[in-house]
Structure formats: structure tokens, C-alpha cells
Amino acid sequence: MFSLKKSTTLAAAALFMALMLPAGAFAEEAADTAAAKPAAKSAAKPAQMPAEAAKEQPKEETKEQPKEEAVEAAKEQPRDSLQHPANILVLRVNGSVITKQALDRAVKVMLAQNQVKEPLSPEAQKEAEAAALDQLTSAELLYQEASKLDMPELDKQIEEKVAQNSAKFKTDEEFIEALKSVDMTMQDMQDFTRRDLMINHFIEQKFIAKAAITDAEAKKFYEENLDRYFKKPESVRASHILVGSDEKATPEERKKAKEKAEALLKRVKAGEEFAAIAKAESSCPSASQGGDLGAFGRGQMVPAFEKAAFALKQGETSGVVESEFGYHIIKVTEKQEAGAEKFENVKDKIADFLKKQKVQKELITYIDELKKSAKIEKN
């Protein structure tokens, strides 16, 4: 069946995140981590802390601040040291600065999204930094273009987005502590949120709104990928009652197990509810679901069980079937013959898939053109 799961095509927001990995994404990830383990209740900092020196900081007893005071206090945190990552220039993009702090955050987000464990080897670290810096450059170029568009109610949207992140915490103080753990202020969070919203708005207006897929394009994709995406293999959904008896059982034990299975089969044939017998008598974990094993295709079950199940019609019940696990009574509840999805049933999914592909391709080309005309200066 057709599915986007195996595709690298991304929706607009996800595409932006994958290309740019903005620091705002790292802030939200850190916020999620801290929400699960609030800073006020644990001395452990989130694993993504960028500064080793921040791991051990003595706590001072303070009175709880009102919400407005806590937020205002967090807006401006001094960064005096010239060696602070926020004060180290890495790159200028048309005059706008990308700092070491932004680069460090982007690397951490990229590694987290790709489930890469740290620390990296020196060579791998350089590769990661180069990739992250390229993405930050793309983000900055898009932001500069996005700044040329008017975005209605931007301040309101920023406020709502920040509030959504803050709502993951029990108190505003916990939210601020989460930001501190990644060396961010409330002002940083608001600035990153502004950038993200503006860039997504720009992508929506310039690319997504203009992208269109015709029925002919969708039909061509369907025909060219019929075997790959749209063929449905033969499958059955079955329930069973198992009287367990493994290969180590003695002949006498096997005999008793078979006799019990035959007695249960008589009860099924006499009209007792299959699921009720399975719950009471089956030794398979599926007993709690009335013996339901769900749907499966060929090659997923042991040969004897598979042969019997696929030989049955929908609604039919087998005799006693012997396998290496014991003795089964099988009931097929659904049966799906092999075939192909009809084009009309998948047309909308195909169109959406192709539209995202088109947007992705056009956006990457657009960014490449911006880079050619941009003034990019490395420190």
C-alpha cells in the first residue's frame, strides 16, 4: 500500500526544520525534556546542556516570583565573558551574525534528530559542524527574505507559541530554568519563535500555496509505482486457541494436549463463543484478546499454522492443527486477496506526496540561488 513512511519528502514545517535546524527547535526539545523532569524537583540538568560549567550550580532559596516579574527577569541575562559562545563570531551572512552558540545548538539538534550519540570523533564533529553551519546559513537567508513579507498578527502568534511551550511546565519558573539549562533567555525564545513563524509563513506563501499537482501527474506516478507502493499482498486476520506443548514434551504430554484441543474444538462446533473459550483456555498471550492475532501475510507464521489459516475461508474454523508450539484451533475472521489499490482511492495521497516533493525541490533550488548572490564571510 502507498505510504509516506519510507519517503524523505517533508511537510513545510518539517522541511524547514530538517534544512535549517534553528536554535528554537533545540529550545523546544530542551523544554520537553525539562517538562518531564522539572528543574525545580531534580538536580540533574537536561542531557543537552551546552556548557559543562552549568552542570553544577548551587541553588539559593528564593521566594516565588509573580509571573510578570519572573518573565521580565529572564529577558535579559548578562553574558559578560568575551569567550562566551554567544560572543564568538563564526559567520556573517549578508552582515547578519551566526555565533558559536547558535552553531553548538544546531549541532546538538541535528545529532538528536538523527539519534547520534555524543561525543563524536574529531572528524565526525567537524562534519557535523559543517552541515549545521550550512543549515544555519540557509535559515538566515530565508529569514532575510521572509522579513520582506508582511505577516498579520505576528506578535499575537509569537505570544501564543511561547505560551504553548510554557504550558508544558507547572510554573513559569520551571520554564525559565529549562531555558537557562540551554543558555537561553526568554528574549531568545521569543526571537527564535519569531524567526520560525516568519520563515514558515514565507514558505507557505511563496511555495506551498503555488504548488499544484494535476490528475495526470498523479496517475503517472500511480502507474510507474504500482508494484512498489500500491500492490496489496494476500493476508488474513485470524484468532486461535492454543493448547501449548513444546518439542521437549513427552509423547504422553503431547497426547493429552491434543486430546484437550479436540475437546475444545467440540465446544466451538457446538456453538460456544470462540473468543470466550480462547480467553479461558488458550495458553497463548493472545488469549486476553480472545485469541485475536491480528492480520498477517505469508511468511509471518510457522508453516503448519500458515498453511491451515490461508486455506480457510472468511468465517471458517479449522480442525486441530499441530505445530512446534502445540495444538491450535484457528478461526479466520477476515481475508484479503492479493490485488492493487484503486487509483481513485489513493489519488489524494499521491497528489499530497508529489506536492511536498515539488515544494522541497523548489525550496532547495531557491536557497542555492540565494547563496550564490549572498555575501557570506567566515570568521
Write down the pLDDT at residue 361.
94
* Cα-only R_g, the chain: 30
User: Which residue is it, cell 491450535?
Assistant: 328
User: Which residue is it, cell 492480520?
Assistant: 295
**Partners of residue 277 on adjacent β-strands:** none
* CA gap 19, 141 in Å, rounded: 12
Q: Are 108 and 197 within one domain?
A: yes
In a domain, 156, yes or no: yes
The residue-averaged pLDDT of 135-141 equals: 93
Q: Are 94 and 201 within one domain?
A: yes
Please check the confidence at residue 23 and state whether its pLDDT lies above 90: no
* CA gap 162, 159 in Å, rounded: 5
Write down the pLDDT at residue 80.
53
Q: Are 41 and 170 within one domain?
A: yes
CATH number, position 17: 1.10.4030.10
What mean pLDDT value characterizes the chain? 81
CATH number, position 296: 3.10.50.40
- What are 35-53's pLDDT values in tens digits? 444 333 322 222 332 333 3
Percent of the chain with pLDDT over 70: 78
Q: Are 186 and 132 within one domain?
A: yes
pTM of the model: 0.58
Map 303-365 to HEC letters: HHHHHHHHHCCCCCEEEEEEECCEEEEEEEEEEECCEECCHHHHHHHHHHHHHHHHHHHHHHH
Q: Are 30 and 108 within one domain?
A: yes
Q: Of the given ranges (39-43, 137-141, 209-213, 241-245), which has the lowest mean pLDDT?
A: 39-43
In a domain, 32, yes or no: yes
The C-alpha cell at 226 is: 504500482
In a domain, 4, yes or no: no
* CA gap 343, 182 in Å, rounded: 49
Domain count, the chain: 2
**Domain range holding 113?**
12-53+69-75+83-213+358-378
Q: How confident is the model at residue 116 (pLDDT cuts 50, 70, 90)?
A: confident
